[in-house]
Amino acid sequence: MSEDTILKVRDVYRTYDIKGGMFKKGSQLTAVKGVSFDVKRGSTLAVVGESGCGKSTLARMLTMIDAQTSGGIEIDGLPIDISKTGISKEMRQKVQIIFQNPYGSLNPRQKIGHVLKEPLLLNTDMPAEERRDLALQMLEKVGLQPEHYGRYPHMFSGGQRQRIAIARAIMMKPKLLVLDEPVSALDLSVQAQILNLLADLQDELGLTYVFISHDLSVVRYLADKVMVMYLGEVVEYGTRDEVFDNPQHDYTKTLFAATPKADVDSIRKRLAAKTA
Amino acid sequence: MSLLEIRNLKIEFDTAKGPFKALDGVDYTVDAGEVLAIVGESGSGKSVAMLAMMGLLPDSATITADKMDFEGLDLRALSAAERRKVIGKDISMIFQEPIASLNPCFTVGFQLSETLQTHTVLKSSEIKGRVIELMHSVGLPDPEGRFNAYPHQMSGGQCQRVMIAMAIACAPKLLIADEPTTALDVTIQKQILDLLVQLQQDSGMGLIMITHDMGVVAETADRVIVQYQGRKMEESGVLALFENPQSPYTKALLSALPENATGDRLPTVSDFAEAGGF
């Protein structure tokens, strides 16, 4: 393995058992079927696909929420197989996740300061004062104010909440950040702010992103490499330009064709077709 | 005469902190056979305007307008009972969350029949045939089998097709689609948008698309209204809007699209607000 590869995934499978009922036999659902890829340190891998394609299952395995059924995951040289070894604090520090819905991912009864300090409390021996200082620093880093420290989540807008979720994720100084549709619940102008923030943090902290999205325009904007998943399998994997300029698989082509085009030429073509 | 004409629509909500102005004097007109898109971010008042027109807002809302005519009929003067004869028949609406909009306790066939029972004089024996015809026209596979299916047995895209079937059941003259594809995958979004535009062209009804997605606007609209914080920023033809946007807000919105990104950073709307002032 070269020094530069931070995430190495080899032939990973994940199978869920579906329980049978009185009249129905139990069955098995394979959500992820033999996925392999590498991610270079400091780069962004975008994972694209429709609902049910296994992209969120993949995110759950990378962030140690779920164990893989078989196959190998290696993060920063550390093999991950939580069904065998459990999770150590060291493993926790490597990866963090940001979810799609900033309304559902913050505890409504927890003040923001507490939200940010909690990962440190659980995973490090840092004294209380240091934790507080670090939380305040982090607020500033994601574009919020120190006075937000004592407020509750309901006092924030969706974009601000997503900033809080980002701050919480980077409190532990992770190497790898998994972002599960981080901007799809946000308005266009707020989306731009959050994407800018993510780009800044990547430069500053040398973060590696696994960015899960169904929005191809966002993917094209920020990805270094793109992986397209369909029904649990990887159907296309390459650099951004390779995938966007010359898609190989039929599903990728369908996906591109279905994406609304907002350029003047396509509008003109549509209007012409309508009047004809 | 326009199909729908609204002049100087104002909506205020009573809140604990005093009145909140959701919409501040906006005009809307839609002609038969036209697709109007209303674009804006959350809080721009795009949905609230249409809900007000349909009489679906709670009592805490104060609605005033100089004119609110549908085919020459003054909607402001209607009683609730009279309004219900128009709403659901001549004007109907599709909402964002297809699965949440359907009643989970009843089959889709039953829910579709209900609309026809309320608004038409069809006999119950004819209704089932008409429902299956409708399900067929929105492209649901196996309509006879789906008639007795419950909403949870169908996918999001299929539920949205049922909602569309329900909305067009009485051949409305105006269809309002409030973010009809936001909850759906891109490939399904394409199918639903194509279906809506197809139905609109076949029947010649007016269609109002409420959306925040500039891509959806570009793919469907004839004319566009851009709203921001309860005010109209711009109104123009779809080509003119994308080719040569007039208001600073529209310019900001278009340049915040990731596909239009030129440099390393995406310009945000607040950058423009400071420079352009709106």
- Nearest CA-CA partner of A190 in B229, B265, B41, B44: B41
What is the pTM for the complete model shown?
0.83
Distance from CA of A269 to the nearest CA of B (A): 10
Give the whole-number percent of chain B exceeding pLDDT 90: 53
Q: How many residues would you count in chain A?
A: 276
| Residues in chain A whose Cβ is within 8 Å of chain B | 50-51, 158, 187-193, 195-196, 199, 214-218, 220-222, 254-255, 257-264, 266-268, 270-271, 274
Condensed to tens digits (0 to 9), the pLDDT of residues A135-184 reads 999 999 999 999 999 999 998 888 899 999 999 999 989 999 999 988 88
Cβ proximity of B70 and B91 under 8 Å? yes
Token pair in block for residue A50: 């429709």
Name beta bridge partners: B6: B28, B68
Q: What is the mean pLDDT of chain B?
A: 89
What is the count of residue pairs from A and B with beta carbons less than 8 Å apart? 105
Name the nearest CA neighbour of A118 among A173, A171, A160: A171
Collapsed DSSP state (helix, strand, coil) of residue B85: helix
**The two three-digit tokens of residue A190, written as one number:** 């707020």
User: Is residue A213 predicted with pLDDT exceeding 70?
Assistant: yes
Is the four-CA dihedral B54, B57, B58, B59 of positive or negative sign? negative
- Are A174 and A55 in contact by the 8 Å Cβ rule? The answer is no
Interface test with A, best of B202, B254, B257 (most A CBs within 10 A): B257
CB contact under 8 A, B266 and A261: no
Q: Which of A47-51, A247-251, B184-188, B271-275 has the lowest mean pLDDT?
A: B271-275
Minimal CA separation from A218 to chain B, in Å: 6
pLDDT digits (tens, 9 = 90+) for B185-208: 888 888 889 999 999 999 999 999
Crossing angle of helices B124-137 and B156-168, rounded to 10°? 130
Query: Per the CB < 8 Å rule, is B258 touching A261?
Result: no
Hey, how many other C-beta atoms are within 10 angstroms of the C-beta on A203? 11
Reading the block at residue A256, the tokens are 């591109």
Q: What is the pLDDT of residue A85?
A: 83
User: How far apart, in whole angstroms, are the C-alpha atoms of residue A145 and residue A93?
Assistant: 26
Mean pLDDT of B29-45: 91
Report how far apart, in Å, the C-alpha atoms of B11 and of each of B20, B224, B230 are. 9, 21, 9
> Which pLDDT score, from 0 to 100, does residue A190 have?
85
Report pLDDT digits (tens) over A175-190.
999 999 888 878 888 8
Q: What are the DSSP calls for A27-65, one per residue?
A: EEEEEEEEEEEEEETT-EEEEE--TTSSHHHHHHHHTTS
ipTM reported for the complex, 2 dp: 0.75
Decide if pLDDT at A2 tops 60: no
- Of the listed ranges A151-155, A207-211, B33-37, B178-182, the least confidently predicted one is B178-182
Q: What is the mean pLDDT of residues A71-83?
A: 89
CA A70 → CA A61, A66, A87, distances in Å? 11, 12, 17
B242-260 average pLDDT score: 87
* A-chain residue closest to B270, CA distance: A189
